Structure 1
Amino acid sequence: MDSFWDLLWYTIIVFAFVAYLLVFFLILTDLFRDHTVSGLGKAVWVIALILIPFFSALLYLIVRGQDMAIRAREAQLAARHATDQYIRQAAGRSAVDQIADAKALHESGAITTVEFEQLQTRALEQDTPGRGEMPSR
């Protein structure tokens, strides 16, 4: 690099290449996430992205950009829903739920009053943090 302008030009070229790679992988992700496009259509888009990269990427964003945003949002909502389900499953049941179930069993006669009180005590002990532990928030 002989001058400042060479360095500036090199920086612009590297930036453009990295930006294209990001767009390329974003388009590929969207293309294979979309179930409405046939295999042949996907192959044509991939070949176009490789042979005429900037034009085909711009064309894809113009033609399919709106649907691309919708699919990305749906994927994000599905991921959030799966995470929420996992958290609910991992957290277990609350003390209130356990006591309500024990009360229903007691009222139906399936357990005695002593067993109900034991279950109630155990549920409350599990819900209350022990000594030296910080309460979870």
Structure 2
Amino acid sequence: MLLAAEFGSGQALWSIFWLFIFVMWIFLIIFIFSDIIRSHDLSGWGKALWAGGIIFFPYIGIFAYLIIRGGSMSERQLSDAKEADAAMQTYIRETTGGTTDADQLSKLSDLHTAGKLDDAEYASAKAKVIGS
């Protein structure tokens, strides 16, 4: 068993460096597998081929994936984040109940008194709110 006293300073730095590279490699593999799974433009066979390529030829598979599909990884991640945000906003609106009829009538009244709505538009919008 190697103790700290037996480790030279150069060996310790190299060990830390290789540990860092190994951890980054694991994160890269996990990130790419998650991108393959979340990708909507790949069919099931395409996902299976990419996953098999990464499993059986890790270095070539990872670098090929980054070269071929790496540019669109951020676009897929951004679209997934937007979808999650929209779903969260919808959930919040549904849970809190959104605006009440009284709130909508108050806003309509403010718009009518400010001159943004004429009498016919105000009456039509008011009927929609009351009817709903």
TM-score exceeds 0.5: yes
C-alpha displacement at 1:93, in angstroms? 3.6
For structure 2, which runs of at least 5 residues remain unmatched after alignment?
107-125
> Cα distance, 1:100 vs. partner?
5.6
Identity of aligned residues (%): 29
For residues 4 and 101 of structure 1, do their structure 2 counterparts lie closer, same or farther at Cα, with a shift above 3 Å needed? closer
Name stretches of at least 5 consecutive residues in structure 1 with no aligned partner: 109-137
Which residue matches 1:125? none
Task: Provide the aligned length of Structure 1 versus Structure 2.
Answer: 105
The answer to whether residue 44 in structure 2 is matched with residue 39 in structure 1 is yes
2:9 maps to 4
Higher relative contact order (CA 8 A, sep 6+): 1
Residue identity in the other structure for 1:62: I
How large is the RMSD of aligned CA atoms in angstroms?
Answer: 2.6
What does the per-residue CA deviation read over 1:62-117, in whole Å, with 9 as the maximum and x for residues that have no partner? 110122121111100000101111111222244xx332678969xx8xxxxxxxxx
AA aligned opposite 1:99: A
SS in 2 for 1:36: coil
Rounded Cα–Cα distance in structure 2 between residues aligned with 1:18 and 1:3: 22
Q: 1:101 to 1:7 in 2, by over 3 A?
A: closer
